[in-house]
Every structure is written in structure tokens, then in C-alpha cells.
A = this chain, B = another copy of it.
Amino acid sequence: MERKTRQRAAIRAAFEAARRPLSPAEVLEIAQRDLDRLGIATVYRNLKAMVEDGSLAKVELPGEPDRYELAGLAHHHHFRCRSCERVFDVTGCVEGLRNLVPRRFRLEGHELTLVGQCGDCVRAA
């Protein structure tokens, strides 16, 4: 992906406007508001290329389709609200990870998802 295309600009703009992790379908929907001829294959190709060139990060949540967010954030995890299904970034990390790893296994990374209710939904309940 060497050229600056309007498709790619619309995809990047979608993330800047949303400020939260987006699925490919959400990216298509948002970017099509500006570029109605945009095809889903182009979205997939650009998401893949943007992850490879480091401008996007893939957000994988248990039991959910992959989402993507703008890269450059510090190490963080995610909190998924069971009520509104929104996903939030949480900063910081936990301790004791290495103690969990079986002998001879090599730990290279980890993913943590917190689940519960976000502030808005706690207040509404």
C-alpha cells in the first residue's frame, strides 16, 4: 500500500472519528458515508496493510470478531460492558503472570479482558 487513495483516507478517518475499536463491518459503514463506492474487500485489504505497517492494531476479544484501533497506545487491556457492549481501554497490567506458565513453556504475550458494567450503565441501573 504505497499510494494515498481516498479509500484509505476514509478508513483512517473512520477510526479517528470513532475513537474506539471498530470491526470491519463498522469501518465499512462509517467510511461509506463519505465514499459510497467503497467495497468490503478494500476495507479488509487496508486493515491488513495498516496493521502490517504499524498504523493500526488488531484488538482480539474472546468470543467476538476481530476489531481494530489506531496504533501507538501504550500496553493496555480492554473492559467490555455487558450492558452496552462498548469496549474501553484500561491502562496498567497485572502481576504474577509468569507463575501461571507450565514448565518448559515459553510465555511471549498475554491478553486480558475485563467484563462487567461501565460507569454509564452502573448509573443507569
Contacts and interface: CB of A to CB of B under 8 A. Distances in A.
B115 A109 contact: yes
B113 A62 contact: yes
B79 A105 contact: yes
A117 B60 CA distance: 19
A108 interface: yes
Interface in A63-95: 63-64, 66, 77, 79, 81-82, 88, 90-95
Interface residues of A, number: 43
Nearest to A98: B114
Nearest to A61: B62
A116 B108 contact: yes
Contacts of A108: 82, 115-117
